[in-house]
Structure 1
Amino acid sequence: MQTTRELLDLIQLEQMSDKVFLGKNGYMGSPNIFGGQLVAQALNAAIRSVSPERICHSLHAYFILPGNLKLPVIYEVEHIKEGGSFTVCDIVAKQDNTSIFVMTASFHKQEEGYEHQVDMPEVPEPEMLTKWLDIPLLEDAEKLKKIKNFINAERPVEMRTCFQPDYSRSEINNHNPVWFRFREFPQQLEWIAVQQLIAYASDYNILGTALRTHGDRASYANTHVASLDHSIWFHHTSDIGDWLLFDLVSPVAASVRGFATGRIFNRSGKLVASVAQEGLLRPV
C-alpha cells in the first residue's frame, strides 16, 4: 500500500447491514493489524451510521487483543445517545466473534462559538529534513526482524523527524515533532474522509515518543511495546494535501505504561486535531 487512494480503499468498509460493516486488512510490517487501521475503519463505520450534518469531534478507543491479519474484521455500531446537538455511538471490532477493539465516537452539529488555539512550535521545515527514524531504532532493526519489516514496509504516509535525540546528554528527550504527509494525495476530499486519514496516521510515532524518552537504555529490542488506548479530538477542518506537523510529547511513564500526547497542525499553523495515547512499555 503506497498511495492515499489505496489507503482510502482499505478504510472504506463493506456494509453488511444497517450498522454492521466488514473490513479487510493492510500489511504494515507487523504480524498484527496496525492500530491506526482499526481506529480509521471504526470511524468509517460510525460516520456511515450517523446523520451527515453531524461531524465527529472526538473518539476514544481501547485495543483489547492483537488483530489477526489473516481474518476480516466485523464492526458493529450501536447508538447510545441521540440528542439535539450530539450523537454518541459505540463501535466494537470483532474477529471470530471475539472483541479485539472498542471505540466510542461523538458527533456534533456545526455551531459557532468562542475560539482560541496555541501557536505551532518553531521547527525546521520538512524540506530541510530527510530522516524519519532515529539511530537507535535503526540499530534495533538489525537485531529484530519484526522491526526491520516495519521500517521497510510500504506505506501511504511519508514522515520526517525534526530533531534526532542526543542520548549522550542528560536532558530528557520527550519532545518529538514529526512532519508527515499522505503520498499521492487526491484533491477535493470531503472532511469526513480527511478525518479518517488523520485517524490512521495518528497511531504513528506517538507511543514511540514515550519509548525514545528512555532511549539511552530502552529500545524495541529490550521492551515489549503495545498500544492500550487512543483518543483523538478534531478541532478545525483543513486541507491536508501538504505537510502536517505532529507535535508529540511524553509527559510521563509509570507502572510499565508510557503516555504521550500530540497536536496536529497544518502548514499554516492551524491546530487541526489533538491526540493522546497510553501504551505498554514493559522491559523484557
Structure 2
Amino acid sequence: MVTLIRPPPVDSSQSAIENVLELTQLSDIDPDLFTNTRPLWHPPGARGIFGGAAIAQTLSAAQKTIDPEFTVHSMHCYFVLAGNADIPIIYHVERVRSGKSFATRTVQARQRGKVIFTTTMSFVRQNSGGQQKVEHAHPMPDVPGPVEGKDDMELHSDVRSPFQSQRMAIENDDSDQPHIKKCRQWVKARGTISPAGGHEAHLSAIAYMSDSYFIGTIARAHKLWRYSTQRKSNAKSSIDEDVLKKLLAMDDAELKRQEFVDEADIQHIRRIKNGEDISKDAPPEIGMMVSLDHTIHFHNPRSFRADEWIFTEMETPWSGDGRGLVYQKMYTQDGTLIASCVQEGVVRLRQNESRL
C-alpha cells in the first residue's frame, strides 16, 4: 500500500494537481503530522519520487499551521534520500517561530524513520512592508507565447502529469559558453484550481512545477546525451528509456515539433537511425543527475494563478566537481515576476562505458 490511509475518491471539483498534492492530517497522533493522501509519482527511470512533490507537500503541510494573514516568501530545501513511491511519507511540521511580521516553519519528510527531505520556510504577514516601499523586478524577456494543445509531458510517461509543459528552443544554443544559454518553457496546472484551494493551492502548484527540467538545464547547456539505454547491472537509468524508443520512431519533422528535443539531440538520433558508428565521437553522456537542494523565493504570492500559463527561464552560472548550479525565474503571462529559484544537483558523466 502506497498511502498510510486508504485514499478517498478523487474530488472532481479540484484540479489534478490539487488531488496529487492532497495531504491527510494525522490529528489523533499529532496535529503537526501529515501524510500523502494519494500515491506519489515516480518518473520512469528516476531514482525516486518526483522532487517537486516533496517540495510542494512540505509547503502544503506548513501552510496548514500558519495564520491565514501570513504568506510564504521563501523556502530552502535539501533532498537527503531518494523517496520511495511504494512507502507512505510522514511530514512533521515544527513551529519554530510565530512573530508579528514573520513566522518560521521547518518540515521533515520521513520514510521508515529516516529523513528523506527537509525544508525551512519563512512566512510574512500580508501588507506589513508599509505604504512606501523599495520596488523593482527583473523584466520578462520578449518571447513567443504558449500554444494551446501542445504538451511535451505526454511523451515522457503513460501517467498523465498534473501539469502541462511547452519547452522552447535554447537561447544562445550555438555558443560554446554554457553560462550564457537560457532554457525556457511554459507551464501550467491542468484544469482549474478550485476556489476552496485558495492562494495556498496555487503556491503549492508552482512549487511542484518549479522542479520541472530544473537541474536538466546543465545537460542541455552542455549538450550532453540524456537518452542512453546502457546501464550498470542492477542500476536504474536516470532518464526514461521509453522516450528514446519513441524518438527513434519519429521522422525529422516530428522530432522538430517536440519542444523538449534540442537540435543536438536530433543530430545524434539521426545518426543512430542511420546506423552510423558513433562510439568514438558520441557526445558526453549523463551517468547521474539528481537534485541536492532547492530554494524558492516567492514574489507577489497572491497575484497569480498556477492554472494559467507561467513562463520560466533557467540558466546555469557554474558546474564542476560533479555538481552544477541553476537559476530560474518564473513569470505570469503578463510579465509579473512571481518566483526566483535556485537548485544545485549532482551532475556526473558516465565513465569508461560504451555509449550509443
For residue 227 of structure 1, what is the aligned residue in structure 2?
A: 291
Alignment of 1:11-160 (within 5 A): 11-16=21-26, 17-23=30-36, 24-30=38-44, 32-110=48-126, 111-112=128-129, 113-127=133-147, 130=150, 132=152, 150-160=156-166
Q: Is the 8 A contact 2:78 2:117 kept in 1?
A: yes
User: Displacement of 1:51 after TM fit?
Assistant: 1.4
* 2:349 partner amino acid: P
Of 9, 18, 27, the residue aligned with 1:8 is 18
Q: Classify 1:207/1:125 alpha carbon distance in 2 versus 1 (closer, same or farther; 3 Å).
A: same
Of 160, 183, 187, the residue aligned with 1:180 is 187
User: Displacement of 1:180 after TM fit?
Assistant: 0.9
For residue 318 of structure 2, what is the aligned residue in structure 1?
A: 252
Q: Is the 8 A contact 2:193 2:201 kept in 1?
A: no
* 1:22 partner amino acid: T
User: Displacement of 1:178 after TM fit?
Assistant: 0.6
Please give the secondary structure, in 2, of the residue aligned with 1:190.
Answer: helix
* 1:202 partner amino acid: S
For residue 144 of structure 1, what is the aligned residue in structure 2?
A: none
Q: Cα deviation per residue 1:92-112 (whole Å; 9 max; x = unaligned)?
A: 000011110000011110124
Q: Cα deviation per residue 1:191-247 (whole Å; 9 max; x = unaligned)?
A: 1110000010000011111111111x4435332010100011111121233211011
Alignment of 1:191-230 (within 5 A): 191-215=199-223, 217-219=224-226, 221=228, 222-223=285-286, 224-230=288-294
Please give the secondary structure, in 1, of the residue aligned with 2:147.
Answer: helix
Structure 1, gaps ≥5 residues long: 134-147
Q: Which moved more, 1:68-77 or 1:164-173?
A: 164-173
How many angstroms apart in 1 are the aligned matches of 2:105 and 2:227?
35
Please give the secondary structure, in 1, of the residue aligned with 2:110.
Answer: strand
How many angstroms apart in 2 are the aligned matches of 1:234 and 1:96?
32
Q: Classify 1:128/1:70 alpha carbon distance in 2 versus 1 (closer, same or farther; 3 Å).
A: closer
Q: Is the 8 A contact 1:246 1:263 kept in 2?
A: yes
Q: Is the 8 A contact 1:179 1:244 kept in 2?
A: yes
* 1:266 partner amino acid: T
How many angstroms apart in 1 are the aligned matches of 2:67 and 2:167?
38
Q: Classify 1:53/1:283 alpha carbon distance in 2 versus 1 (closer, same or farther; 3 Å).
A: same
Answer 1 or 2: which has greater strand percent: 1
| Identity rate, percent | 29
Q: Which moved more, 1:95-104 or 1:171-180?
A: 171-180
Q: Classify 1:196/1:128 alpha carbon distance in 2 versus 1 (closer, same or farther; 3 Å).
A: closer
For residue 161 of structure 1, what is the aligned residue in structure 2?
A: 167
How many angstroms apart in 2 are the aligned matches of 1:149 and 1:131?
8
Of the two, which has the highest radius of gyration? 2
Structure 2, gaps ≥5 residues long: 1-9, 229-284, 351-356
Q: Is the 8 A contact 1:207 1:259 kept in 2?
A: yes
User: Displacement of 1:166 after TM fit?
Assistant: 8.2
User: Displacement of 1:132 after TM fit?
Assistant: 4.0
How many angstroms apart in 2 are the aligned matches of 1:275 and 1:192?
18
Q: Is the 8 A contact 1:11 1:40 kept in 2?
A: yes
User: Displacement of 1:261 after TM fit?
Assistant: 0.9
Please give the secondary structure, in 2, of the residue aligned with 1:239.
Answer: coil
How many angstroms apart in 2 are the aligned matches of 1:225 and 1:75?
25
* 2:115 partner amino acid: S
User: Displacement of 1:35 after TM fit?
Assistant: 0.3
Q: Taking structure 2 as the reference length, what is the TM-score of the superposition?
A: 0.69
Q: Is the 8 A contact 2:80 2:118 kept in 1?
A: yes
Please give the secondary structure, in 2, of the residue aligned with 1:127.
Answer: coil
* 1:262 partner amino acid: Q
User: Displacement of 1:169 after TM fit?
Assistant: 5.6
Q: Number of residue pairs matched?
A: 268
Q: Is the 8 A contact 2:104 2:123 kept in 1?
A: yes
